[in-house]
Structure 1
Amino acid sequence: MEIINLDPHHPEVSQLLRDIDALMNTLYPPSSNQLIPADELAAPDVYFVGARTEQTLMGCGALVPKTDGAGELACYAELKRVYVQPPYRGLGVSKQIMQSLIEHARRCGFKVLRLETGIRQTEAIGLYTSLGFIQCEAFGSYEPDPLSVYMELHLS
């Protein structure tokens, strides 16, 4: 397995994004889904990677730099679209994707990583906790939502 940069408009990646959307839409109402579209994942400052074997794209994740209200780069980045296809769960794929995202954030000088996930994604919450993320208040443009869990990791 290797971690590679992804083009969100590539057909294989587009299908993976549709799979994520379908899953999230079965778990949560539209008002609780914060799905970033492919065009935003294609922005030059977004680090969008996947884990793949020679034959299969197993999962993906993105690191999205955030700006403050004045357009200045904020001190944090947000993790989006962290997902592993069902046949590859439990094999450490998501951990490798996350480690790649965290290391990239460190290299870029971000002080904090933040994410929003859903209360029904207990395995994801467990992964994030094992990597040192702690729960926090809603951040950025998020409003408090009883179906959401907000987490952050302070980078040293």
Structure 2
Amino acid sequence: MVRIERTTFKNENFSGLVAKLDAYLSHTDGDEHDFYHQYNGIESLNQVVIAYLNDVAVGCGAIKKVDSDSVEVKRMYVSPETRGQGIASLLLKELEEWATELEYKNCILETGKRQPEAIALYTKNKYQEIPNYGQYEGMENSVCFKKTLT
């Protein structure tokens, strides 16, 4: 059974999962990894969720304030051996609920075109592709999404 926990960047399981995410992204992002990595610090992430399967941390995600209406979904990751079980969607749903509780109206995010499984996750969860925003403008590998929360 999957259990979702709300926590902060200080959680050791979160930093361990992020280390695995960064290793994966350094491979998929290739030469662009250093560019993306500079925007992925975790020290300001105070809304973090972790998925536990049989009390083992297997996935994570976070939200970060963008402006008074929007948060950005950050650091989404599910360990390869537990993918395909709906854990990423559970994490995303919990982040959306948390954002709604905090009275945000939108979730936005960026992912890479070389991560088709991530694109499929966000599309399946009713995120709409939007023009690249902020630091992602002009980045050919980036694809950005938005979901209006109800």
Tell me the SS of whatever aligns to 2:145: strand
User: CA 1:8–1:16 in structure 2 vs 1: closer, same or farther (change >3 Å)?
Assistant: same
Distance 2:96 2:10 in 1: 24
**1:63 aligned to 2:67?**
no
TM-score, length of structure 2 as denominator length? 0.88
Q: Structure 1 residues 139, 102: CA separation in 2 closer, same or farther (over 3 Å shift)?
A: same
Task: Name the structure 1 match of 2:44.
Answer: 40
The equivalent of 2:17 in structure 1 is 16
- CA 1:108–1:60 in structure 2 vs 1: closer, same or farther (change >3 Å)? same
Task: Supply the RMSD in Å over aligned alpha carbons.
Answer: 1.7
C-alpha spacing 1:107/1:7, structure 2 compared with 1 (3 Å): closer
Secondary structure at the counterpart of residue 95 of structure 2: helix
Which deviates more, 135-144 or 120-129? 135-144
Contact map agreement 1:111 1:155 (CA 8 A) in 2: yes
How many residue pairs end up in the alignment?
146
Q: In the alignment, is the contact (CA less than 8 A) between 1:48 and 1:63 conserved in 2?
A: yes
- Residue identity over aligned pairs, in percent, reads 30
| 3-state SS of 1:77 partner | strand
1:105-130 alpha-carbon deviations (Å, 9 max, x no partner): 12222111100000011111111111
Alpha-carbon spacing, 1:148–1:7, altered in 2? closer, same or farther (3 Å) = same
Q: Is the CA contact 1:4–1:50 (under 8 Å) kept in the aligned structure 2?
A: yes
Could you tell me which residue of structure 1 aligns to residue 108 of structure 2? 114
Q: Which runs of 5+ in 2 are unaligned?
A: none
Aligned-residue offset at 1:32: 4.0
- When normalised by structure 1's length, the TM-score is 0.85
Q: Indicate which of 121, 127, 130 corresponds to 1:127.
A: 121
What one-letter code is carried by the residue in structure 1 that aligns with 2:40? I
Q: Which has the higher helix share?
A: 2
Cα distance in 2, alignment partners of residues 148 and 18 from structure 1: 21
Query: Could you tell me whether the CA contact under 8 Å between 1:49 and 1:62 is conserved in 2?
Result: yes
